[in-house]
């Protein structure tokens, strides 16, 4: 397993930017329109704007966290600032969060692949086959993920240019706000749900130890968070306005259904897979790698063995979900709790404690 | 190294579905589906599946089957065929009036079309009193019935027609929002498709049928860019409508909110002498304006009677229609 990538653990800011965009995109891009249309009807796309703004704010806080960590690992930073017990507790919580996100992404992708591409293949087999290359990537190290991100990013963004951007010209803008019902409570809660549905920030939180210069992360991370959210917005905006809010909320994968009505409909399966498979792979490698690293740091076990265990846990957790009927609901509740803790509460407390100690 | 190559080969085979795939030569490409329903026979489906015969001659193949469910009927056709049916190139679905009159059948049909991932959401829907006659239409040299029917709706690049279009996506949207769907009703005239009205469907209920004149009125009211030949007056004269735009505005009249629909149309009349134009121009303009107005009123009345008030929520009386028509004599 030793090669130039596995030996080189540090990644550049440009690579971090690419990874963050791909992590934010994830599989949630094709499932979020259903949840958003269900929550706010035709105004569902506004929730992504709210979620995107909160995401940028969260990314800003995480960048401050990265600055004080100064290249140390997540566990070391939290333990030294907030104390060892909290360091252990928060690291364990983050492992759970990462494995949950991994399992949810793998399960969702596999469900979509089963519907569109592999109707006769058993779901566990699709999940295992999806997860296997991700585990191999995670075993090769963090640099491998960054290199793969650089290779994949153009392939992943291509469908946006070919499918979703042309849809912007088919939307009836004169009726854009006509069907929207305004309710501040729904929009606030929905924006939070959207913010925590993005899977990028948790990886940003733990990646400071792998950056060449963690103190200069801010401009790259903020622009990547904004761009990632803008891409998710594009999918939501087109899906909700073209499919209609009612139809959109009744579909499991509205973002993918939209490809079905595009000019490239005959190749929908290939487009969908090239797009989402690569995006899922990039996130899954990160989730396996970091949960394995954290687990290794906590238990003192070999981190490569821990990565294998993390992938196995992700696979088993993904199998245990009841399917696309309940997965979004579980993800929402889970995301709200862990998202709030790791994106806002933890960075704020850690930064405050660090500054207090410094004074 | 050998282990890695073996792993890659297994992954490639499973990921691409190699173990149960079908080559193009093993697929039967369905271009059109017609489905009808009767209490006695259940679902009757007809698939247009063209096949290559000797010397690469394409033969139009119609496969018919009756079964208690649409899925069973399709599976029976598939099992009898030497090739695997594929719906990725299906362009048209023809719905029999027997099916459209039965709520349970409509529900089953929409679920079947929605859940069949091979079927494109842009697929065009048509209604017909006789699905056999539509499917037996001679599609010409290319022998592809589905492409022939969808071509009837699309027309030429420059040619506009007064033919309403409804696709699967529109139907699913309208059902989800409990809005009426307007499915074009086609028949056969001189061995070619003829647009003969619009079937109004709300949820799973057939609400009514707009006859030809009412259907044309419906299309004047829609904000789509329809056009084509319009005939009016006594003796009848024709004009070619080249541009049409419909806009909607809510106005206050006598303390009540009313919908004002404004139709702006531009047309050409051909081969008229200067004297004829001078003496008859205003008459011709009046003929066509009156026709457009009366057609739209007929459509609004029928829509109101059938609880399908697509253009105004409070009945046809609360909708005003204004027609602005200009004709060029060339």
The domains of chain A are located at: 10-170+183-351
Average pLDDT along chain A: 85
- How many angstroms separate the CA atoms of A228 and A208, rounded? 19
- How many angstroms separate the CA atoms of B100 and A253, rounded? 29
- How many angstroms separate the CA atoms of A309 and A301, rounded? 11
Q: Which CATH entry fits the domain spanning A10-170+183-351: 3.40.630.30, 3.20.20.10, 3.40.50.720, 1.20.1740.10?
A: 1.20.1740.10
The SS3 call for residue A120 is coil
- For residue A271, what pLDDT is reported? 62
CATH topology of domain B213-330: GMP Synthetase; Chain A, domain 3 (3.30.300)
Minimum Cα–Cα distance from B89: chain A residue? A266
Identity of the residue in B17, B121, B177 whose CB atom sits nearest the CB atom of A117: B17
What is the least distance, in Å, from the CA of A156 to any CA of chain B?
A: 18
Minimum Cα–Cα distance from A241: chain B residue? B173
Q: Using 50, 70 and 90 to split pLDDT, how confident is the model at A58? A: very high
Q: Between chain A and chain B, how many beta carbons pairs sit less than 8 Å apart?
A: 44
User: Which residues in chain A are closer than 8 Å to B88, comparing Cβ atoms?
Assistant: 266
A261/B121 CB distance under 8 A: yes
3-state helix, strand, coil in chain A (%, to 5): 85, 0, 15
Rounded percentage of chain A residues whose pLDDT exceeds 90: 35
- How many angstroms separate the CA atoms of A304 and A293, rounded? 8
Whether residue A49 is preceded by a cis peptide bond, meaning omega within 30 degrees of 0, is: no
Question: Tokens 């210069």 map to which residue?
Answer: A213
Give me the DSSP letters along A168-233: GGGS-GGGTTTTPPP-HHHHHHHHHHHHHH--HHHHHHH-GGGBS-GGG-HHHHHHHHHHHHHHHH
Q: Is A165's pLDDT higher than 80?
A: yes
User: Which residues in chain B are closer than 8 Å to A166, comparing Cβ atoms?
Assistant: none
B173/A265 CB distance under 8 A: no
User: Which residues in chain B are closer than 8 Å to A132, comparing Cβ atoms?
Assistant: 7, 11
Which of the residues A246, A251, A259, A280 would you substitute to probe the B interface, choosing the one with the greatest number of B C-beta atoms within 10 Å? A246
User: Which residues in chain A are closer than 8 Å to B202, comparing Cβ atoms?
Assistant: none
Model confidence over A284-325: pLDDT tens digits? Answer: 999 999 999 999 999 999 989 999 999 999 999 999 887 766
Straight-line distance from the first to the last Cα atom of chain B, in angstroms, rounded to the nearest whole number:
79
Q: Using 50, 70 and 90 to split pLDDT, how confident is the model at A329? A: confident
Q: Per residue of chain B (330 residues), what is the pLDDT tens digit?
A: 566 666 766 665 555 555 556 666 677 888 899 999 999 999 999 998 887 666 666 677 888 999 999 999 999 998 988 888 888 888 899 999 999 999 999 999 999 998 888 888 888 999 999 999 988 887 776 667 788 888 887 765 455 667 788 999 899 999 998 889 999 999 888 888 888 899 999 999 999 999 988 998 999 998 877 778 888 877 788 888 888 899 888 888 777 888 899 999 998 887 667 677 667 778 888 888 999 999 999 999 999 888 888 876 566 678 889 999 988 877
Identity of the residue in B15, B169, B176 whose CB atom sits nearest the CB atom of A246: B176
Minimum Cα–Cα distance from B169: chain A residue? A243
User: Which residues in chain A are closer than 8 Å to B177, comparing Cβ atoms?
Assistant: 244-247
Integer-rounded Cα radius of gyration of chain A: 20
- How many angstroms separate the CA atoms of A88 and A100, rounded? 18
H/E stretch holding A238 reads helix A218-243
Ranges in chain B annotated CATH 3.30.300.210: 213-330
Q: Using 50, 70 and 90 to split pLDDT, how confident is the model at A7? A: low
Highest average pLDDT, of A58-67, A168-177, A210-219, B227-236, comes from A58-67
A115/B20 CB distance under 8 A: no
């Amino acid at each position: 397993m030793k090669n130039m990538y596995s030996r080189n653990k540090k990644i550049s800011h440009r690579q971090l930017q690419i990874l963050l965009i791909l992590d934010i995109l994830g599989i949630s891009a094709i499932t979020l329109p259903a949840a958003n249309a269900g929550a706010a009807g035709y105004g569902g796309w506004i929730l992504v704007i709210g979620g995107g703004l909160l995401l940028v704010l969260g990314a800003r806080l995480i960048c401050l966290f990265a600055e004080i960590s100064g290249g140390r690992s997540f566990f070391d930073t939290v333990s030294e600032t907030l104390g060892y017990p909290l360091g252990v507790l928060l690291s364990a919580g983050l492992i759970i969060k990462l494995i949950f996100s991994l399992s949810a992404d793998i399960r969702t992708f596999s469900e979509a692949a089963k519907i569109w591409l592999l109707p006769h293949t058993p779901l566990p087999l699709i999940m295992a086959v999806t997860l296997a290359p991700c585990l191999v990537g995670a075993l090769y190290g963090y640099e491998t993920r960054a290199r793969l991100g650089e290779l994949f990013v153009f392939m992943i963004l291509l469908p946006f240019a070919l499918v979703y951007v042309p849809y912007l010209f088919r939307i009836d803008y004169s009726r854009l706000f006509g069907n929207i019902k305004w309710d501040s409570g729904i929009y606030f809660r929905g924006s939070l749900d959207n913010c925590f549905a993005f899977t990028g920030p948790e990886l940003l939180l733990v990646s400071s130890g792998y950056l060449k210069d963690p103190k200069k992360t801010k401009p790259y991370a903020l622009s990547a968070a904004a761009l990632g959210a803008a891409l998710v917005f594009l999918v939501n905006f087109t899906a909700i306005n073209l499919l209609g809010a009612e139809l959109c909320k009744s579909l499991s994968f509205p973002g993918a259904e939209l490809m079905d009505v595009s000019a490239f409909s005959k190749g929908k399966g290939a487009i969908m897979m090239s797009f989402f498979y690569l995006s899922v792979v990039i996130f899954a490698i990160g989730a396996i790698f970091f949960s394995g690293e954290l687990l290794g740091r906590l238990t003192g076990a070999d981190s490569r063995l821990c990565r294998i265990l993390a992938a196995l846990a992700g696979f088993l957790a993904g199998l245990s979900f009841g399917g696309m009927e309940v997965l979004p609901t579980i993800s929402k509740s889970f995301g709200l709790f862990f998202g709030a803790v790791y994106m806002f509460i933890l960075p704020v407390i850690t930064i405050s404690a660090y500054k207090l100690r410094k004074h | 190294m050998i282990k890695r190559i073996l792993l890659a080969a297994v992954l490639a085979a499973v990921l691409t579905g190699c173990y149960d795939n079908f080559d193009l030569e093993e697929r039967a490409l369905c271009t059109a589906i017609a489905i009808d329903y009767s209490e006695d026979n259940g679902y009757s489906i007809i698939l247009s599946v063209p096949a290559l015969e000797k010397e690469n001659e394409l033969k139009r193949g119609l496969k018919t089957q009756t079964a208690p469910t649409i899925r069973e009927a399709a599976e029976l056709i598939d099992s009898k065929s030497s090739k695997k049916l594929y719906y990725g190139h299906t362009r048209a679905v023809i719905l029999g009036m027997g099916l459209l009159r039965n709520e349970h059948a409509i529900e089953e049909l929409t679920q079947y079309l929605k859940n069949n991932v091979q079927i494109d959401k842009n697929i065009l829907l048509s209604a017909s009193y006789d699905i056999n006659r539509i499917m037996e239409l001679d599609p010409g040299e290319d022998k592809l019935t589905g492409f022939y029917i969808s071509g009837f709706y699309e027309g030429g690049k420059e040619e506009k027609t007064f033919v309403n279009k409804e696709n699967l996506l529109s139907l699913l949207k309208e059902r989800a929002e409990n809005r009426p769907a307007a499915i074009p009703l086609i028949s056969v005239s001189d061995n070619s498709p003829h647009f003969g009205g619009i079937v109004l469907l709300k949820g799973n209920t057939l609400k009514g049928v707009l006859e030809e004149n009412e259907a044309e009125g419906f299309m004047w009211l829609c904000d789509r860019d329809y056009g084509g030949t319009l005939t009016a007056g006594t003796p009848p004269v024709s004009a070619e409508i080249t541009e049409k735009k419909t806009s909607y505005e809510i106005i206050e009249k006598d303390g009540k909110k009313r919908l004002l629909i404004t139709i702006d149309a531009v047309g050409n009349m051909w081969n008229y002498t200067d004297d004829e134009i001078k003496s008859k121009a205003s008459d011709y303009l009046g003929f066509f304006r009156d026709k457009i107005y009366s057609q739209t009123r007929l459509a609004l009345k029928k829509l109101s009677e059938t609880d399908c008030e697509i253009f105004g929520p409070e009945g046809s009386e609360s909708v005003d229609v204004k027609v602005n028509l200009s004709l060029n004599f060339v």
